[in-house]
Structure 1
Amino acid sequence: MTKRVQDFYASTNNNERLIQFMVAILVRNSLSQGIFTEQLKELIREVYLTAEPNDTMRRCSPFFKRCFSGSEWKGLIKKLFKNESNYFANTEEARFYNNYLGSEGTLKNHREDLIYHVESVFEDAEGKKHKLTIPDTDPTKSEEQTVNILRTLSLLTVFENAGVRKFVEYVSYKTPGLTIASAHNSRKEKKAAQASQTKNVPEAATQAPQQEKEQKQFVQSIANKKETGQLLPADRETRHTQAPREELRSEAQDDTRDSLPETNGNDSASPMNSPTSDGEKGRENLQPATKKKPNKPAELPKRPDTSYMRYGKSEAQIEEERENKRLQREADRKNGKKKKRKKRK
Structure 2
Amino acid sequence: MSTINLGTRQLFLMKRENLSKKFNSFLENSDDASYVIQCAVAVLVRNSFTPSDFSNFEKDLIRDLFLTSDKVKSARKYCVYFRNYFSEDEWQTVVNRLFDSEEEFSQTTERTRLHIEKLLPILHSGGWEAPIKRSLVTVFKDETGKKHGWTLSNVDRKYSTQENCDLLAILSTLTIFEKNGVRRFAELVKNSFATIDIDYNSENEEEKIEVWTEQPKSAADKTEIHNPEEANLPRSSKDTHPAKHVDSVKEEKKLEAVNETAATSIPKNEKKRQRKRPEDHQKKLYAKNPFHKQEETKKLTQPKKKKKRKKKRK
Normalised TM-score (structure 1): 0.47
- The match for 1:11 is 29
Gaps spanning 5+ residues in structure 2: where? 1-18, 198-314
Alpha-carbon deviation of 1:83? 2.9
- The match for 1:94 is 112
Structure 1 position 164 matched with structure 2 position 182: yes
Q: What code does the residue aligned with 1:70 have?
A: E
Greater gyration radius: 1
- The match for 1:68 is 86
Specify which structure has the bigger relative contact order, considering alpha-carbon pairs within 8 angstroms and separated by 6 or more residues.
2
Which structure features the higher share of helix residues?
Answer: 1
Give me the whole-angstrom Cα distance separating, in 1, the residues matched to 2:52 and 2:145: 31
Q: For residues 199-222 of structure 1, what are the alpha-carbon distances to aligned partners after superposition, in whole Å with 9 as ceiling and x for unaligned?
A: xxxxxxxxxxxxxxxxxxxxxxxx
Q: For residues 164-191 of structure 1, what are the alpha-carbon distances to aligned partners after superposition, in whole Å with 9 as ceiling and x for unaligned?
A: 1001111000011349xxxxxxxxxxxx
Structure 1 position 59 matched with structure 2 position 77: yes
The question of whether the paired residues in 2 share the 8 Å contact of 1:97 and 1:149 is answered with no
- Shift in CA distance, 134/75, structure 1 to aligned 2, threshold 3 Å: same
Number of aligned residue pairs: 175
Q: Aligned ranges for residues 109-188 of structure 1 at < 5 Å?
A: 114-178=132-196
- The match for 1:78 is 96
Alpha-carbon deviation of 1:114? 2.5
Give me the whole-angstrom Cα distance separating, in 2, the residues matched to 1:23 and 1:167: 14
Normalised TM-score (structure 2): 0.51
Alpha-carbon deviation of 1:55? 4.5
- The match for 1:23 is 41
Give me the whole-angstrom Cα distance separating, in 2, the residues matched to 1:53 and 1:8: 15
Structure 1 position 40 matched with structure 2 position 49: no
Give me the whole-angstrom Cα distance separating, in 2, the residues matched to 1:174 and 1:142: 12
- Shift in CA distance, 45/120, structure 1 to aligned 2, threshold 3 Å: same
- Shift in CA distance, 113/36, structure 1 to aligned 2, threshold 3 Å: closer
Gaps spanning 5+ residues in structure 1: where? 180-345
Q: What code does the residue aligned with 2:147 have?
A: K
Q: CA RMSD in A?
A: 2.5
Q: What code does the residue aligned with 1:156 have?
A: L
Alpha-carbon deviation of 1:59? 1.2
The question of whether the paired residues in 2 share the 8 Å contact of 1:116 and 1:136 is answered with yes
Identical-residue share of aligned pairs (%): 31
